[in-house]
């Protein structure tokens, strides 16, 4: 009958909406201060949506593969409220620019390290960051990261978005091992993407998975 072919898509959207609402409830419960600082993304890091589009065009990234504008805004909001001093950006890209732009505006002494398991993608991310005015410091391949900055270092915030589905699963525990134990400001944020159980760029469950 007419309209039946739309049913799977409608059910998928409803399921994603329910997951999104559940995620939001957990976010508000675990990070209550976030409800009071929703203007932070636009005032601290303006033009996120424009930069997101520029990044996709400059790097040839499918917008379904890049983290979402919403996650970038959430990262700025979180950082503006909690000021994590050590940040590991696992999976370079638009988040590399977002986190450095926040750092330059609000916390110049904070340390942002961007890591990628793909050297070519790391190069693209570094070049975009430089062109967008947020610098080229702190970019490492995964191997360089393990031999250098990761050695004996624990992070207040880990953003986990490696491109390869295989690597995302294999290296997941390594991401949690990097997080400073205890404390309300120690979190791993995991980006969902198509083909991995959710919409791209959405925080998975509670972003507050304490290390």
Structural domains of the chain ordered from first start = 4-190 (3.40.50)
Q: Identify the pLDDT of residue 164.
A: 67
What mean pLDDT comes out for the span 88-98? 94
Tokens coding 27: 């976010």
Q: 159 is written with which tokens?
A: 């953003």
Contact 203, 71 (CB under 8 A): yes
Identify the three-state secondary structure at position 197.
coil
Average pLDDT, the chain: 76
Question: Is there a contact between 139 and 92 (Cβ–Cβ < 8 Å)?
Answer: yes
Q: How confident is the model at residue 151 (pLDDT cuts 50, 70, 90)?
A: confident
Share of the chain above pLDDT 70, in %: 67
- Is residue 122 scored above 50 in pLDDT? yes
- Segment 131-157 mean pLDDT: 90
pLDDT tens column, 95-116: 999 999 999 999 999 999 999 9
Q: What angle do CA 164, 125, 123 make, to 5 degrees?
A: 85
pLDDT of residue 207: 35
Statement: residue 192 has pLDDT above 60: no
Most confident listed range (29-38, 88-97, 153-162): 88-97
Percent of the chain past pLDDT 90, that is, above it, reads 31
What gap in Å lies between CA 154 and CA 51, rounded to an integer? 30
Q: Give 29's pLDDT tier (boundaries 50, 70, 90).
A: confident
Least confident of 58-67, 115-124, 128-137, 155-164: 58-67
Distances (CA, A) of 108 to 72, 195, 201: 19, 37, 26
150 band by pLDDT with thresholds 50, 70 and 90 = confident
């Amino acid at each position: 009958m007419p309209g039946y072919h739309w049913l799977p898509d409608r059910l998928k959207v409803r399921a994603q909406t329910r997951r999104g609402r559940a995620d939001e409830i957990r976010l508000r419960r675990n990070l209550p201060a976030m409800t009071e600082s929703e203007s932070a993304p636009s005032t601290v890091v303006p033009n996120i949506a424009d930069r997101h589009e520029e990044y996709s065009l400059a790097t040839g990234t499918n917008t379904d593969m890049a983290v979402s504008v919403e996650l970038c805004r959430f990262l700025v909001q979180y950082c503006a409220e909690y000021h994590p001093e050590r940040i590991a950006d696992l999976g370079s890209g638009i988040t590399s620019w977002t986190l450095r732009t926040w750092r330059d505006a609000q916390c110049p002494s904070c340390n942002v390290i961007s890591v990628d398991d793909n050297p070519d993608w790391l190069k693209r991310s570094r070049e975009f960051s430089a062109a967008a005015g947020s610098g080229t410091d702190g970019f490492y391949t995964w191997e360089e990261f393990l031999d250098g900055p990761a050695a004996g270092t624990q992070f207040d915030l880990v953003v986990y978005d490696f491109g390869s589905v295989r690597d995302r699963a294999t290296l997941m525990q390594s991401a949690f091992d990097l997080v400073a134990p205890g404390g309300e400001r120690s979190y791993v944020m995991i980006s969902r993407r198509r083909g991995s159980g959710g919409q791209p760029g959405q925080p998975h469950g509670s972003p507050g998975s304490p290390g």
